[in-house]
């Protein structure tokens, strides 16, 4: 499944699965961008 930045819920769910120990409120945008792209 190809995602784009409008698929925020799916992106969030996949990030939670891949980075379960990461506090989502502490993620820098640059890290988020690298993980998503």
Confidence at residue 9, expressed as pLDDT on a 0 to 100 scale: 93
pTM: 0.63
pLDDT for 1-37, tens place per residue?
688 889 989 988 998 999 999 998 899 999 988 988 8
Q: Which string of DSSP letters, residue by residue, matches the chain?
A: ----TT-HHHHHHHHHHH-TTS-GGG--HHHHHHHH-
Q: How many domains does the chain have?
A: 1
What domain range is 34 assigned to?
1-37
Lookup: tokens for 2? 């190809």
Spatial CA neighbour of 22 closest among 7, 5, 34:
34
């Amino acid at each position: 499944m190809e995602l784009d930045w409008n698929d925020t819920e799916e992106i969030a769910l996949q990030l939670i699965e891949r980075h379960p120990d990461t506090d989502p409120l502490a993620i820098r945008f640059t890290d988020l961008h690298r993980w998503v792209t």
